[in-house]
Amino acid sequence: MSSPNAPDRFNEEKSTFTVRGSDAPDLEAGVAAIRNVLATLPTRPGVYRMQDARGDVLYVGKARALKNRVTNYVQVDRLPKRLQRMVAQTRSMTIVTTNNEAEALLLEAQLIKRYRPAYNVLLRDDKSFPFILLRADHDYPRIQKHRGARRAKGNYYGPFASAGSVNNTLNALQKLFLLRSCTDGFFKNRDRPCLLYQIKRCSAPCVGRIDAAGYDELVTDAKSFLAGKSTQVQTKLGGQMQAAAEAMDFELAAILRDRLRALTFIQGTQAINAEGLGDADIFALACKNGVMGIQAFFIRGGQNWGHRSFFPAHTNDVPEDEVLSSFLTQFYEEVPPPRTIFVDRELNEAALLGEALGAAAGFKVTLSMPQRGTRRRLLDQAKRNAEEALDRRLAESTTQAKLLQEVADLFDLGEPPDRIEIYDNSHIQGTNALGAMVVAGPEGFRKGQYRKFNIKNPDTEPGDDFAMMREVFGRRFARAQAEDPDRDAGDWPDLVLIDGGRGQLNAVKGVMEELGIEDVCLVGVSKGPDRHAGREVFHMLDGREFQLPVNAPVLFYLQRLRDEAHRFAIGAHRAKRAKAIGASPLDEVPGIGPARKKALLMHFGTGRAVRNASLQDLQQAPGVSSAVAQQVYDFYHSR
């Protein structure tokens, strides 16, 4: 699928039609805005965006005929309550025409992913999936785990449902095919085999323990296995082991036996039998109490590469088939589709979705609902897993709701908090100091909204936790006031927990008073006299301090929030410290890129030698022009 930042592939014709009215929801003003668009709206395929008075996107939709589709929104009596509320908030629309409806479907998925509108079904868990990459840019290809954009040259196998499933498969593949996993730099500088060779997980091509032809054969076997030809690989290894045993080469026979065991391990970890299915994804939807869950099985080469549960957002009053269709469109925005997709219900737009996915993938993609045989049994298994996962989700949600109600009662909140922010600082004797913000809500931690704050204020004394907290909160809430003064974007916290005692709380209180913010609940959490878990002291703005019973569920929940902030802060600090260790004095010189920095360091050996070099010496460095040499010299000697 194309990047969501590159809609030009659709040869778009954009027009924006706007009617401004009161900022308050007004059904008549919303209908007037839509009618104004209809006056000049074409009947061509395309995508429309509905926006509120601030320009925020409320909804993204696609249509085979834009004029016919948008006309439905002015017939408000026929709309469900959810869409009536959307129309009441609408003050402008943006129209994008496309060549056909399939292109409109692809663009719709891109725009939903970019804007995350409040009235669209949203794929909540949209983090990238892990793949196995067998690189093709080296004489001895490397096998590795890969996430993100697929820019490297090679063969990608996936998606895998989780990092755990790809790690287990990758470990077994290394034992089975003995392919290298090291970086090219590590490979180039070896003069003797590494530990992986000793434990029979690499064939050590770096030092010539296997020749190019032998390694190519291993690569070919690995490609065959990952393409679903595991029986062929198993037969070949079994024959080679038998031949080695007959030739009394028992050492080779033992190696081949271990490789066969690795193959058996991979086959034995298949939770479902998908032999003969080829490449396919299986999706089943379950719905209970207004909550929907979708279970996905990933089958590649007849092998089960894991399964995952998804719980889309904004599904209230949306038909189940529409939820599944919208989910699939967004899911395959980043993940390459297989040729076959099985679903547990008839979809009105199955043919259109298959056409759109096929156009993006470059091959035919079909969606179907099997009725009998092995495929139907797999679909039933996915359906059962979807229902069980949804039951667990509802049970967890019930428990979470009780905990949040207890939090509200504990801190005198009007209602259970929807957004909790937890803050912590991390540094070592004031160096590489930063603040960290963790966000939690009814659904758990919102890791995409975590933030770190590098301490930049020169007046902040190293190691001054109070000053660090003042800087972090000053920047966080000054920005919130500037970007969301009306607090309707959902980014303002209902509760703020601060890892610290009365001193940190008072420092934050002063900052909030300077900003004129008096309605955010602030609570300091200190570890108590013994600094033992369970002895935490909670400090309130009104001066109250209290502890909770050591076995209280709400205490365990608050400890988990505090510990997550601590973990994130330490991790961010370590990353910053590691980056600082690898920094070079040449990084400060303006206009010096990586290539020239490398040339200077290779010529002089150290950054200090570069700083002490004469202008003539700098000019003699390879790859460094006279102008650059002068620039480096002036930087170090004109201050």
pLDDT single digits (tens) 317-332: 889 999 999 999 999 9
Superfamily of domain 280-391: UvrC, RNAse H endonuclease domain (3.30.420.340)
CATH for the 7-115 domain, from 2.60.40.10, 3.40.50.300, 2.80.10.50, 3.40.1440.10: 3.40.1440.10
Q: Is the pLDDT of residue 131 over 70?
A: yes
Give the tens place of pLDDT for each residue, 161-206.
777 778 878 887 888 788 999 988 888 888 888 888 888 889 999 9
Ranges of CATH 3.40.1440.10 domains, the chain: 7-115
Position 161: which residue type?
A
Calpha distance 328→319 (Å, rounded): 15
**Long-range contact pairs involving 71-78 (C-beta distance under 8 Å, separation at least 24):** 71/38, 73/31, 73/34, 74/31, 74/34, 74/35, 74/38, 76/27, 76/31
Q: How far is CA 488 from the centre of its chain?
A: 25
Q: Of 101-105, 241-245, 260-264, 302-306, give the range with the top mean pLDDT.
A: 101-105
Q: HEC states along 391-436?
A: HHHHHHHHHHHHHHHHHHHHCCCCCCCCCEEEEEEEEECCEEEEEE
Average pLDDT over residues 612-624: 80
**Which residues pair with residue 441 across a beta bridge?**
444
Name the token pair of 407: 């939090």
In a 10 Å sphere around its CB, with 0-12 CB exposed, 13-18 middle and 19+ buried, how is residue 222 labelled? Answer: buried
Exposed / middle / buried, residue 551 (Cβ in 10 Å: 0-12, 13-18, 19+) = exposed
Lowest-confidence region among 97-101, 231-235, 561-565, 573-577: 231-235
- Over 70: is that where the pLDDT of 552 sits? yes
CATH node for 585-637? 1.10.150.20
CATH of 420-577, one of 3.30.565.10, 3.30.465.10, 3.40.630.10, 3.30.420.340: 3.30.420.340
- Is 437 within 8 Å of 450 (Cβ atoms)? yes
Sign of the Cα torsion 224, 228, 229, 231 reads: positive
Angle between helices 212-226 and 163-177 (to 10 degrees): 140
Q: Look at residue 386 in the predicted model and tell me its pLDDT.
A: 93
Element housing 262 (H / E) = helix 250-268
Instruction: Note the pLDDT of residue 93.
Output: 93
- C-alpha pair distances (Å), 350 with each of 160, 342, 357: 24, 11, 11
User: What is the DSSP-derived secondary structure letter of residue 558?
Assistant: H
Which part of the chain has CATH 3.30.420.340?
Answer: 280-391, 420-577
Instruction: Inform me whether the pLDDT recorded for 554 exceeds 70.
Output: yes
Whether the Cβ atoms of residue 322 and residue 330 lie closer than 8 Å to each other: no
- pLDDT digit string, tens, across residues 25-52: 688 899 999 999 998 888 899 999 999 9
Query: How many Å separate Cα 585 from the centre of its chain?
Result: 34
pLDDT score recorded for residue 438: 94
In this prediction, residue 2 carries a pLDDT of 43
From-to residues of CATH 1.10.150.20 in the chain: 585-637
Predicted confidence at residue 127, as pLDDT, reads 63
User: Which one has a higher pLDDT value, 594 or 566?
Assistant: 566
* pLDDT score for 383: 93
